[in-house]
């Protein structure tokens, strides 16, 4: 079997990421003509909206061979509004290429992406693109990379004629008088052998240095920097050589226990779900019955593997490969098949910080709109579709205004539904302040359900999400009922005491009880999963009320570069917006200000900066942390049955039970 390297191409928007993908496909002989983002004929931007706007919205997979190495290349969106697509891809990568523009240099999204790549220890090469463009500054960009992205980055060659169409890239090699010494100096930081040779004054052979470079790249300790132009092809051959020599597939055992992850879901021609799946261990075959992480089981009906010869039907997909799998109707993005892979971590990036209500222009389209939004939520779970049953409204979580425009255009183009939006508002979160517990027992007054549920809520570390644990006796409660409790917990924490998502907590099942079925089988007097699903929200909200929650708002870190003379205007404006400058300084004719600002004030800062700086101010901004709101905590209207209002909740549950049985 050909070894497969699953490679991600990541970048800030307009750095030339998709153009580089086209260049690599052309160099491998997959395509005869290089597509253009401007013309809308690239291989990976296949959506009509992608071609119309000239940006990548959805991740796409292409494959090709480099000798005996198969490459499954995943092109990801560069616009920050679609960072969720990148988040899902990171879990399945063996390596990455981060693309930086030689003209614009390191940008806000570049820093966010590199932080995630380094945090996850994904081996990463850096490609500085657009060396042929006027204004290219390769030396300056290299300094930005070492200052802002990766201190241990090393240039792999030199650029000649930068800023002109004839710009070229010449790689350093063993014949270069300075490069082996520079390479040894950088590698010595993490290699005792290289350090010892340097101390002894005995230079290591160049082959040993290259092998040590590959080892440190593999452990994500160093980041080689290549230069070139995706348009002219300069530097592309050298980058390909770097891919072959410095990146390697992760170990894969096709005979091991099954472990796979679904990172993308799309719909086929007949509306069927198709799962883009990376297999880490084991093998999935056509006609296999597999269960996802949520317990949903399906039968595999078709497999198309991305391999050295492109995408093709196959009877199976093995460890190390990516495939499109059909037949798994119940799957969702992020589902795990078999054992959970080591890369399956959550929240590599901040969750969406904005929310809006989607409003159909024609009231008669409301039902169709809800159905269409459900399909979009399958492809992007982080939009966190929420339906307010009382007001019959659909609410979406968003990263930004461009994402809202894409939703609007998608609904119009694909479903024929015209919609508008309410004003975008900031999404807060709730965190438990202390611990709280509650129990509802069968037969006690006020509990009409054939179930006993006890829950305890404890605070968790920031960024930990919601964990679910058990303190009941093993075997004391059927697995299906435990799953029902956990599902109800995860649904209920979407709306806390003040209506915001509750996070960073541990919810533990402490008490349980049920009515077993008689020997003859199930009866209406036995407990059911529905009893546990209906009771759990009441218990959880009581426990959460006793723990109490704090409401927190998202806070962004910012960096402003502007003319030095504008410093006296910028600082008062930041104070009026409630921003907190942490560092400020002058560098020649420029000033640099870094600090934090509430997410709700970012848009106003974006509007105010140009007139304050004569249009020369540059703002980098990205989520940094949550902090408690000052003053009275804001509340969000609740949607659906409210377990904080016991009487109305029980009436709604009774109606639901009657409807299900009738």
* 388-407 pLDDT, tens digit each: 766 778 888 888 777 888 88
C-alpha–C-alpha distance, residues 228 and 234, integer Å: 5
The mean pLDDT value of the chain amounts to 86
Give the orientation angle of helix 479-492 with respect to helix 529-547, to 10 degrees: 50
Q: Indicate the SS3 state at residue 190.
A: coil
| Distance of alpha carbon 468 from alpha carbon 225, whole angstroms | 43
Out of 3.60.130.10, 1.20.1050.10, 2.40.30.10, 1.10.10.10, select the CATH number for domain 259-338: 2.40.30.10
pLDDT in tens, 285-339: 999 998 765 567 788 999 999 876 778 899 999 999 999 999 888 788 888 888 8
Q: Quick check: 278 pLDDT over 80?
A: yes
pLDDT tens per residue, range 568-601: 999 999 999 999 999 888 877 889 999 999 988 8
Q: Where are the domains of the chain?
A: 3-246, 259-338, 354-427, 430-547, 551-628
CA 170 to chain centre: 35
| Nearest partner of 227 among 311, 154, 119, judged by Cα | 154
Nearest of 413, 409, 418 to residue 361 by alpha carbon? 418
Q: Return the number of other C-beta atoms located less than 10 Å from residue 234's C-beta.
A: 24
Strand order in the sheet with 95-101: 60-66, 69-75, 3-11, 95-101, 124-129, 223-227, 153-155
pLDDT over 60 at 488, yes or no? yes
* Helix (H) / strand (E) containing 389: none
CB 553 within 8 A of CB 428: yes
| Residue in this structure with the two tokens 């939006």, named with its chain if needed | 421
The proportion of the chain whose per-residue pLDDT surpasses 70, expressed as a percent, equals 90
User: Where does the pLDDT of residue 343 fall: very low under 50, low under 70, confident under 90, or very high at 90 and above?
Assistant: low
Task: Categorize the per-residue pLDDT at 490 as very low, low, confident or very high, splitting at 50, 70 and 90.
Answer: very high
CA distance 424 to 599: 12
Query: How sure is the predictor about 45, in pLDDT bands with cuts at 50, 70 and 90?
Result: very low
The dihedral through the CA atoms of 624, 626, 628, 633 has a sign that is positive
Of the two residues 346 and 321, the one the predictor is more confident about is 321
Average pLDDT over residues 627-655: 88
Compute the distance between CA of residue 24 and CA of residue 230 in angstroms, rounded to an integer: 9
Return the structure tokens found at 644.
């904080």
Closest CA to 320 of 252, 227, 269: 252
For the domain spanning 3-246, the CATH number is: 3.40.50.300
Q: Are 228 and 235 in contact (CB under 8 A)?
A: yes
Quote the CATH superfamily of domain 354-427: Elongation Factor G (Translational Gtpase), domain 3 (3.30.70.870)
CA distance 130 to 15: 8
- Overall average pLDDT of the 14-42 stretch: 73
Cα–Cα dist 476/40, whole Å: 59
Q: How far apart are CA 146 and CA 448, in angstroms?
A: 64
Residue 115 — φ and ψ, nearest 5°? Answer: -60, -40
Residues 356, 423: Cα–Cα separation, whole Å: 6
What's 285's DSSP letter? E
Distance separating alpha carbons of residues 292 and 335, to the nearest angstrom = 6
What integer pLDDT is reported at residue 221 of this predicted model? 94
The yes-or-no verdict on residue 534 having pLDDT over 80 is yes
DSSP string computed for 354-374: EEEEEEESSGGGHHHHHHHHH
Whether 217 has a pLDDT exceeding 90, the answer reads: yes
Residue 410: predicted pLDDT: 85
Query: Mean pLDDT over residues 22-27, rounded?
Result: 83
Distance CA 570, CA 611 (A): 10
Nearest to 75 by CA among 101, 48, 52, 47: 47
Using one digit for the tens of pLDDT, what is the confidence trace for 432-463? 999 999 999 998 988 999 999 999 999 999 88
How would residue 644 be classed by pLDDT, with cut points 50, 70 and 90? Answer: very high
Q: Do domains 259-338 and 551-628 have the same CATH topology?
A: no
Q: Which of 382 and 407 is assigned the larger pLDDT?
A: 407
Question: Residue 170 is encoded by which pair of tokens?
Answer: 């010449």
pTM for this structure?
0.74
Cβ–Cβ under 8 Å, residues 131 and 167: yes
CATH classification code of 551-628:
3.30.70.240
Taking alpha carbons only, the member of 365, 418, 363, 427 closest to residue 395 is 427
Mind listing the pLDDT tens digit for each residue in 222-277?
Answer: 999 999 999 999 999 999 999 999 998 888 889 999 999 888 888 888 878 888 89
Nearest residue to 163 (alpha-carbon basis) of 107, 224, 229: 229
- CA dist 529 and 514 (Å) reads 10
- pLDDT tops 60 at residue 106: yes
Domain 430-547 maps to which CATH number in 3.40.50.970, 3.30.230.10, 3.30.420.40, 3.40.50.1100? Answer: 3.30.230.10
Q: What is the mean pLDDT of residues 63-80?
A: 79
């Amino acid at each position: 079997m050909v070894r497969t390297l699953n490679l991600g191409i990541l970048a800030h928007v307009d750095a030339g990421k998709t153009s580089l993908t086209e260049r690599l496909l052309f160099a491998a002989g997959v395509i005869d003509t290089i597509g253009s983002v401007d013309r809308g004929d690239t291989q990976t931007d296949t959506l009509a909206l992608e071609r119309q706007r000239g940006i990548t919205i959805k991740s796409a997979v292409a494959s090709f061979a480099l000798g005996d190495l198969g490459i499954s290349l995943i092109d990801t969106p560069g616009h920050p509004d679609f960072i969720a697509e990148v988040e899902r891809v990171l879990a399945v990568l063996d390596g990455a290429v981060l693309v930086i523009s030689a003209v614009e240099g390191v940008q806000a999204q570049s820093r966010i992406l590199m932080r995630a790549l380094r945090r996850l220890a994904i081996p990463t090469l850096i490609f500085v693109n657009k060396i042929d463009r006027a204004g290219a500054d390769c030396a300056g960009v290299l300094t930005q990379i070492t200052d802002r992205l990766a201190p241990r980055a090393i240039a792999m060659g030199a650029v000649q004629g930068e800023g002109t169409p004839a710009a070229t890239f010449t790689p350093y090699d063993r014949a270069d008088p300075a490069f082996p010494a520079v390479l040894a100096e950088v590698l010595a930081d993490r290699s005792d052998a290289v350090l010892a040779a340097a101390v002894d004054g005995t230079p290591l052979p160049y082959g040993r240095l290259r092998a040590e470079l590959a080892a440190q790249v593999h452990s994500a300790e160093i980041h080689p920097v290549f230069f070139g132009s995706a348009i002219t092809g300069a530097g592309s051959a050298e980058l390909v050589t770097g891919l072959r020599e410095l990146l390697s597939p992760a170990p894969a055992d096709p005979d091991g226990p099954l472990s796979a992850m679904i990172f993308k879901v799309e719909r086929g021609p007949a509306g069927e779900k198709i799962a883009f799946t990376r297999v880490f261990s084991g093998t999935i075959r056509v006609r296999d019955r597999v269960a996802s992480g949520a317990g949903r089981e399906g039968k595999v009906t078709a497999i198309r593997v991305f391999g050295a010869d492109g995408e093709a039907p196959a009877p199976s997909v093995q460890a190390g490969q990516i495939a499109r799998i059909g037949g798994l109707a119940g799957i969702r993005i992020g589902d795990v098949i078999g054992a959970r892979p080591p890369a399956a971590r959550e929240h590599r990036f901040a969750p969406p910080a904005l929310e809006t209500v989607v409003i159909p222009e024609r009231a008669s389209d409301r039902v169709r709109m809800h159905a269409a939004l459900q399909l979009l939520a399958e492809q992007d779970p982080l939009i966190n579709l929420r339906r307010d049953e009382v007001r019959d409204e659909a609410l979406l979580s968003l990263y930004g205004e461009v994402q809202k425009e894409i939703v609007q255009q998608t609904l119009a183009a694909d479903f024929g539904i015209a919609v508008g939006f309410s004003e975008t508002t900031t999404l807060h979160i709730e965190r438990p302040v202390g611990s709280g517990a509650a129990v509802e027992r069968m037969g006690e007054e006020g509990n009409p359900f054939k179930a006993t549920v006890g829950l305890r809520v404890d605070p968790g570390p920031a960024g930990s999400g919601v964990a679910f644990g058990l303190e009941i006796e093993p075997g004391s409660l059927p697995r299906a009922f435990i799953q029902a409790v956990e599902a109800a917990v995860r649904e209920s924490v979407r709306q806390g005491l003040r209506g915001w998502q509750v996070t960073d907590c541990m919810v533990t099942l402490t008490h349980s009880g049920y009515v077993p079925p008689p020997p003859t089988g199930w009866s209406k007097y036995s407990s059911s999963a529905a009893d546990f699903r209906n009771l759990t929200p009441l218990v959880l909200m009581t426990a959460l009320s006793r723990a109490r929650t704090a409401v927190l708002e998202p806070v962004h870190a910012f960096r402003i570069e502007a003319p030095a003379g504008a410093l006296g205007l910028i600082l008062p404006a930041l104070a009026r917006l409630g921003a907190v400058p942490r560092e400020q300084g002058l560098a020649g004719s420029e000033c640099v200000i870094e600090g934090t600002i509430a997410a709700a004030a970012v848009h106003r800062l974006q509007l105010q900066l140009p007139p304050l700086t004569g249009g020369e101010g540059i703002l980098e901004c990205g989520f940094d942390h949550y902090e408690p709101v000052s003053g009275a905590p804001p509340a969000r209207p609740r949607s659906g049955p409210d377990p904080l209002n016991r009487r109305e909740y029980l009436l709604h549950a009774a109606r639901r039970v009657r409807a299900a049985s009738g």
